[in-house]
C-alpha cells in the first residue's frame, strides 16, 4: 500500500546544529534522510514507520572530503559519485572506490551516501567491508558534543548500530597508513551490475621476506553484520603463503562467518565462496597480482 | 518546538524550482515524490513510474546536472533545484542528437524506458564526451529495458557520440 504524503512530516533545517538540536528534542522520533535511496524505497512501499523526517541531503557540513596528514575524513553525506571522483580517495582507497562503483546504477550513486550505507547497516552493503579493512573510525555528533568510535564493532546485530538516538555520523575517517598495501576486493552476485551481493570481500595485505606481515580481511553478506575475519588474519600472520596455509585459512574463515540461506544464495554456497576468495586473496598477495 | 525549521513540515507548502529552464512554483506536501509532482502537478509525463524503488531508471531526470531517480526524491529536496526532464531536451521541434539516434537505431520500442535512457545517456556524454562501449554500458546500467535487448540502445548512444564529435 502506497504511503500518503500528507501523513509524513519532512523538514530541512539549514545547518547541522539545527539538525542535532531537533534530534535531541525528540530522540528517536526524527529519521534523517539523505539521498533517499533506502528511505524512499520503504516510503513508497508503505513500510516506513517513521512519520517525521529530517533532510540532511547536500548539507555542506556533511559533504566534503578533507585530506589530513595521516587520515582522510569523508563527510557522511558524500555520495558514491563524490567518492569515485575524488583523486585522493581513488589513489589511496581503491577498495572503497570499487565498492562505490558496484553500488546501484549511476542515479543511485549520485544520491546514495556513505553515511547512509553505514546507518542503514545492511550486512550486504558493499562499501562496509572496505571500511572494515581500512579500520575506519566514525565521528558521531549530537547536541552533547562529538565522539570518535572505531567502525569495527559499530554494528551490534542485524541492522543495529551503536549510534545513539540523538546522534548523527558526521565523518568517516580513514587512516592513510594502508596506502602502500596490496588491495584485493571482489563481489559475487547473480550478475555483474545492479545485483545485491551473495558475498563481498575487501582485503589488504603486506608481505615481508615472503611471509605475511600484516593483513585485513573483511566480508559482507555472510553474517548479520559486516565482518572482519580477525581469526583468519591472526592465523596467517607471519607465515609463508603455501598450499597448507591456504587450506587452513579457508577452514578458519568459514568457521568465522554465519551465512544463511535466503533469496539470493545459500549458506553452503556462501561458505564455499568465502573460503575460495580468502585463498584467492592470499595467492594474489603472494604473486603481487593486481586484484581490483 | 524551539528549533527553527527553515522549511517543510507536514502541511502543504509552496516551493519553487526550475524545470526545463522555466521557474515553477507548486503547492505540495514536502514528502511528495518529485516524480509525482512532475507528472501530476506539472503534467510532464515523460518520466515514468516503473519499480518505485530506484532499480529501473524509468523515472530518471537530471537534478542540478546529476542523474537521479525522481521516485526517490522528496520534493522538498528539489527546492530551488534545476530539473531537466525528457521534455526539456528537444529545442522545439528540433530533437537532440540522442533522440535522433534512438529513432534511427530502434533504441525506442515500447517507450517506457526511453526518457530515462536518453537522460542517462545525456548525463554520461556531459561528463564523458568520448565514452567507450564499456562506459556507455556502465552509464546506462541503472536503466532497464525489456524490449530491445539493449544493443540498439548502445548503438544509438555510440552513434550520437560520433555525430557530436563531427559537429
The CATH class that applies to domain A5-55 reads alpha beta
Q: What is the pLDDT of residue B2?
A: 37
Q: Could you report the predicted ipTM of this complex, rounded to two decimals? A: 0.94
Phi, psi of A52 (to 5 degrees): -120, 125
Q: Could you say which of 3.10.20.30, 3.30.420.40, 3.40.190.10, 2.60.40.1080 is the CATH number of the domain covering B13-88?
A: 3.10.20.30
Q: What is the pLDDT of residue A192?
A: 74
Q: What is the pLDDT of residue A270?
A: 95
Q: What is the pLDDT of residue B7?
A: 64
Confidence of residue B1 (pLDDT cuts 50, 70, 90): very low
pLDDT tens per residue across span B50-106: 999 999 999 999 999 999 999 999 999 999 999 999 999 998 889 999 999 999 999
- Burial-class residue A87 by CB neighbours within 10 Å (0-12, 13-18, 19+): exposed
Q: Could you say which of 1.20.120.140, 1.10.645.10, 3.40.605.10, 1.10.150.120 is the CATH number of the domain covering B97-166?
A: 1.10.150.120
Selected for mutation to probe chain B from A21, A62, A106, A193 (highest B CB count within 10 Å) is A106
Return the domain boundaries, chain A: 5-55, 60-177, 180-287
B residues 129-148 lying closer than 8 A (beta carbon) to A: 138-139, 141-143
SS (H, E, C) A103-132: CCCHHHHHHCEHHHHHHHCCCCCCHHHHHH
Q: What is the pLDDT of residue A191?
A: 77
Return the domain boundaries, chain B: 13-88, 97-166
**Residue B77 touches chain A, beta carbons under 8 Å:** yes
Could A105 and B2 be called an inter-chain contact, meaning their C-beta atoms sit closer than 8 Å?
no
Nearest by CB to B3, from A10, A18, A193: name it: A18
Which ranges in chain A belong to alpha helices (H)? 16-25, 39-44, 80-85, 87-92, 94-102, 106-111, 114-120, 127-133, 230-236, 243-256, 267-287
In 3D, which of B63, B78, B69 has the Cα closest to residue B28? B78
Nearest by CB to B67, from A44, A58, A110: name it: A110
pLDDT tens per residue across span A137-170: 999 999 999 999 999 999 999 999 999 999 999 9
Residue B9 clears pLDDT 90, i.e. is over it: no
Lowest mean pLDDT segment, chosen from A145-149, A165-169, A257-261, B161-165? B161-165
pTM comes to 0.95
CATH no., domain A60-177: 3.30.465.10
Q: Across the beta sheet with A145-150, what order do the strands follow?
A: A65-67, A71-75, A168-175, A137-142, A145-150
Mean pLDDT taken over chain A: 95
The structural architecture, per CATH, of the domain A180-287 is: 2-Layer Sandwich (3.30)
Confidence of residue B6 (pLDDT cuts 50, 70, 90): low
Confidence of residue A196 (pLDDT cuts 50, 70, 90): confident
Nearest by CB to A12, from B7, B10, B141: name it: B7
Strands A9-11 vs A52-55: parallel, antiparallel or unpaired: parallel
Per-residue pLDDT, averaged over B110-120, amounts to 97
Q: What is the pLDDT of residue A1?
A: 67
Residue B134 clears pLDDT 90, i.e. is over it: yes
- A-chain CB neighbours of B79 within 8 Å are 12
Amino acid at each position: 500500500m502506497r504511503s500518503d504524503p500528507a501523513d509524513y512530516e519532512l523538514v530541512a533545517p539549514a545547518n547541522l546544529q539545527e539538525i542535532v538540536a531537533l534530534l535531541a528534542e525528540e530522540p528517536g522520533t526524527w529519521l534523517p534522510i539523505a539521498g533517499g535511496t533506502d528511505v524512499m524505497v520503504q516510503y513508497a512501499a508503505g513500510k516506513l514507520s517513521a512519520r517525521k523526517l529530517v533532510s540532511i541531503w547536500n548539507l555542506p557540513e556533511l559533504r566534503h572530503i578533507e585530506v589530513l596528514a595521516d587520515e582522510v575524513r569523508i563527510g557522511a553525506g558524500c555520495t558514491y559519485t563524490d567518492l569515485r571522483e575524488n583523486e585522493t580517495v581513488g589513489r589511496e582507497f581503491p577498495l572503497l572506490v570499487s565498492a562505490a562503483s558496484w553500488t546501484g546504477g549511476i542515479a543511485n550513486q549520485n544520491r546514495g551516501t556513505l553515511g547512509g550505507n553505514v546507518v542503514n547497516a545492511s550486512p550486504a552493503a558493499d562499501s562496509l567491508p572496505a571500511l572494515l579493512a581500512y579500520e575506519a573510525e566514525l565521528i558521531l555528533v549530537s547536541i552533547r558534543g562529538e565522539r570518535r568510535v572505531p567502525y569495527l564493532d559499530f554494528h551490534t546485530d542485524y541492522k543495529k548500530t551503536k549510534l545513539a538516538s540523538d546522534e548523527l555520523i558526521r565523518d568517516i575517517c580513514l587512516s592513510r597508513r594502508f596506502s602502500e598495501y596490496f588491495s584485493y576486493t571482489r563481489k559475487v552476485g547473480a550478475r555483474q551490475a545492479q545485483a545485491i551481493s551473495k558475498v563481498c570481500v575487501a582485503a589488504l595485505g603486506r608481505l615481508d621476506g615472503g611471509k605475511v606481515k600484516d593483513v585485513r580481511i573483511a566480508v559482507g553478506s555472510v553474517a548479520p553484520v559486516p565482518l572482519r575475519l580477525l581469526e583468519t588474519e591472526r592465523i596467517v600472520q607471519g607465515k609463508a603463503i603455501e598450499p597448507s596455509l591456504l587450506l587452513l585459512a579457508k577452514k578458519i574463515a568459514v568457521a568465522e562467518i554465519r551465512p544463511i540461506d535466503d533469496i539470493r544464495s545459500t549458506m553452503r554456497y556462501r561458505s564455499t565462496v568465502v573460503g575460495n576468495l580468502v585463498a584467492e586473496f592470499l595467492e594474489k598477495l603472494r604473486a603481487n597480482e593486481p586484484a581490483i | 518546538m524551539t528549533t527553527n525549521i527553515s522549511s517543510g513540515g507536514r502541511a502543504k507548502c509552496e516551493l519553487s524550482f526550475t524545470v526545463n529552464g522555466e521557474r515553477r512554483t507548486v503547492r505540495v506536501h514536502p514528502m511528495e515524490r518529485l516524480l509525482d509532482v512532475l507528472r501530476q502537478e506539472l503534467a510532464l509525463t515523460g518520466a515514468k513510474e516503473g519499480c518505485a524503488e530506484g532499480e529501473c531508471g524509468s523515472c530518471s531526470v537530471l537534478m542540478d546536472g546529476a542523474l537521479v531517480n525522481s521516485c526517490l526524491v522528496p520534493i522538498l529536496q528539489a527546492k530551488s533545484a534545476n530539473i531537466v526532464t525528457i521534455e526539456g531536451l528537444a529545442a522545439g521541434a528540433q530533437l537532440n542528437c540522442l533522440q535522433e539516434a534512438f529513432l534511427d537505431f530502434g533504441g525506442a520500442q515500447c517507450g517506457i524506458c526511453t526518457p530515462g535512457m536518453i537522460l542517462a545517456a545525456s548525463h554520461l556524454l556531459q561528463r564523458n564526451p568520448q565514452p567507450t562501449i564499456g562506459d556507455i554500458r556502465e552509464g546506462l546500467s541503472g536503466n532497464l529495458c525489456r524490449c530491445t535487448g539493449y544493443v540498439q540502445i548502445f548503438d544509438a548512444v555510440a552513434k550520437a557520440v560520433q555525430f557530436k564529435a563531427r559537429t
